Amino acid sequence: MAAQATEMLSVDLSGQIALVTGASRGIGKAIAVALGQSGAKVACVARQREKLEEVASQIQKAGGEAGVFGCDVTNSEEVNAVVEQVANEWDGLQILVNNAGITQDTLIPRMSDEQWDSVLNTNLRGAFLFTRAASFPMMQARYGRIINITSVSGLMGNPGQSNYSASKAGMIGFTRTVARELGSRKITVNAIAPGFIETEMTAALGPALQEEVKKRVPAKRLGQTDEVANAVLFLASKSAGYVNGHVLTIDGGMTA
């Protein structure tokens, strides 16, 4: 089945500063581009600066503003430095999207300490570090939108992904707790849990396994990165001011 064309949500984010981790490819790239096309100035964060330059260039060619920031999301000093630089040089930070994530799949009897630690550190610790750092300029401005990209694996589990599922389930608990902590400062904290989205990661499954996945999804197709980006645009907008601590699944009905 051919990919579905996605109409982008119309949201005005003019004058706002957004930071997106894991912005170099896949869902993160789509989110960064969508935010830029909606008027936000986007700080694109990842380890691979070369791919980030391509994303920033795409935003700029569409008339938006973007900057590139290389960062190890598990390194507290690097994270603090990036957030401080963005907030100081760009005069604020209104939107944070914690998207950076990795997988290292294997069944639990064969999972190494390194495989467990690297996934939990990137996916969960990274979200914690950026949220903590971003909370200061947001609290000072008494406004903010924090959006954590988790996964349906954190809701239902997935064989071979105990580390990934644990990290994504942790993000959901983290989201709901921080939403309670920061809500009185007009800062919302929400999560988006994508199902199987058409990215480089799902392409690696191969055609046969992709077809099996589609059979499990009521929509009978993989999701598109722009469909996740649309959800981010809504949660980042002022229209979503009373949505807080919510987990929005985008999975074609798989967890229904």
pLDDT digits 0-9 by tens, 4-61: 568 889 999 999 999 999 999 999 999 999 999 999 999 999 998 999 999 999 999 9
Coil, helix or strand at residue 40: coil
Overall number of domains in the chain:
1
Percentage of residues of the chain with pLDDT beyond 70:
96
CB 177 within 8 A of CB 133: no
- Exposed, middle or buried, 15 (CB in 10 Å: 0-12/13-18/19+)? exposed
pLDDT at position 211 is: 84
pLDDT at 206 > cutoff 80: no
Q: Mean pLDDT in the chain? A: 94
Indicate the range of 176-180, 205-209, 217-221, 231-235 predicted with least confidence: 205-209
Q: Is residue 244 part of a domain?
A: yes
Q: Which of 1-10, 68-77, 161-170, 174-183 has the lowest mean pLDDT?
A: 1-10
**Assigned token pair, 59:** 């935003």
Structure tokens at 144: 């903010």
Q: Are 59 and 28 in contact (CB under 8 A)?
A: no
**Considering the domain boundaries, does residue 3 fall inside one?**
no
Residue 133, token pair as written in the block: 């750092």
- Please confirm, yes or no, whether 143 is among the known catalytic residues: no
The token pair at 24 is 């170099």
Is 10 inside any structural domain? no
Mean pLDDT of 207-212: 80
More confident residue, 84 or 211: 84
- Residue 82 resides in a domain: yes
> Is the pLDDT at 3 greater than 80, yes or no?
no
147 belongs to a structural domain: yes
The predicted pLDDT at position 2 comes to 44
The catalytically annotated residue of 164, 169, 233, 235 is: 164
Q: Which of 33-37, 73-77, 89-93, 206-210 has the lowest average pLDDT?
A: 206-210
- pLDDT computed for residue 15 by the predictor: 95
Is 6 part of a structural domain of the chain?
no
For residue 43, being part of any structural domain is answered with yes
Checking 62-65 for CB contacts under 8 A at 24+ apart, the result is: 62/33, 62/36, 62/37, 63/37, 64/36, 64/37, 64/39, 64/40, 65/36, 65/41
In a domain, 11, yes or no: no
What was the pLDDT predicted at 100? Answer: 97
pTM recorded for the entire structure: 0.95
Rounded distance, CA 161 to CA 142, Å? 38
How does DSSP classify residue 3? Answer: P
Q: What is the CATH number of the domain that holds 71?
A: 3.40.50.720
The pLDDT of residue 147 is above 50 = yes
Range of the domain at 178: 17-250
Using the predicted structure, report yes or no on whether residue 193 has a pLDDT greater than 50: yes
